Amino acid sequence: MYPFPACLSMGPVKIAPATVLAPMAGVTDTVFRRFIRNLGGCGLIVTEFTSSHGVSASLGARKPTRTLKYLAFDPEEHPISAQLFGADPAVMSDAARVCEDLGFDILDINFGCPVNKVVKCNGGSALLRDLPLVERLLREVRKAVAIPFTMKYRAGWNDEELVAVRMAKLAEECGLQAVALHPRTREQGFAGKADWRRIAEVKAAVKIPVIGNGDVFTPEDAVRMVRETNCDAVMIGRAASANPWIFRQIAQYLETGAYHQPSEHDRYDIMRRYYAMLMERNEKDTVGKMKQFATYFTHGVRHGAQLRASIHRAQEASAIVGLVDEFFLEEPAAAL
């Protein structure tokens, strides 16, 4: 019904639908990725960005390191991409080999993170000011692995130092299979609007697939991004935290011109399902994750602030589940 790519091919890996869950630190762990995959409509999922130095250091470790836990995934997550950050070509190459050996379908390098502690280590968006180093990284990693190789990046350090097209051409020259552009600058952070014209400029400049990212909050936004930029796929980050149905909604919208708006019961259902998945893994941070995602999942719920406050005071996972049950089932007036 609407102009939208049916799929995206990266070498032997086929991404269908042409939608991607963006890597988000502290969000896209294996539980959330499987959660999104099970809801349907998402073609590719990506890990949290992971330190290449941490991964490389794990090579000589006797037991799995904390860093490797970021790269843990289940078979149901395929196709899945591992995202690394760092600034040392040799270290990045070692880490890339580890990711390939772990069974990832795609390897991605982060050149976009604007967070100070990453930038201070010359990672993420810091490298947008050192294109010769970017080229060395890309060439060394390309030689190190056989799986499809991509990069996610920002448009530049600031509006006076835009490198979106130059970075994309560099990626193409170095043999990458695709690029994902978030068209804000590092200086912008997440403020202001994402200038999609920069995605269109990159798409017009290279032959490899271009994935658009930034300010896609609804299915209509996704379709409009493709129409305005001609991008080959759409990547969604923050919107998927509060609205994990968004990928399924895009598929519905493309097929019928309409999509399901989640009810209060739908919100209750996803909270219970996500919490059950967290409790099944029984990790140390289970309660913290339950509190974190209560903020995302109760977005727009009437009296949701009261539920969030109660959850943040709770100390046990079972108590949090009880609070959710009570809110949605025993107090219908609050949930309707």
- Residues labelled as active-site residues: 113
| Distance between CA atoms of residues 83 and 96, nearest Å | 9
- Quick one: residue 71, left, alpha or beta (phi over 0 = left, psi -120 to 50 = alpha)? alpha
| Distance between CA atoms of residues 87 and 104, nearest Å | 21
* Burial classification of residue 282, based on how many CB atoms lie within 10 Å of its CB (0-12 exposed, 13-18 middle, 19 or more buried): exposed
Contact (Cβ atoms closer than 8 angstroms) between residue 293 and residue 324: no
| Distance between CA atoms of residues 260 and 323, nearest Å | 27
Task: For the chain, report the end-to-end CA distance as a whole number of angstroms.
Answer: 34
Nearest CA among 193, 132, 129, 116 for reference residue 157:
129
Residue type, 273: R
Contact (Cβ atoms closer than 8 angstroms) between residue 294 and residue 317: no
Based on its alpha-carbon atoms, the radius of gyration of the chain, rounded to whole angstroms, reads: 20
| Distance between CA atoms of residues 321 and 290, nearest Å | 9
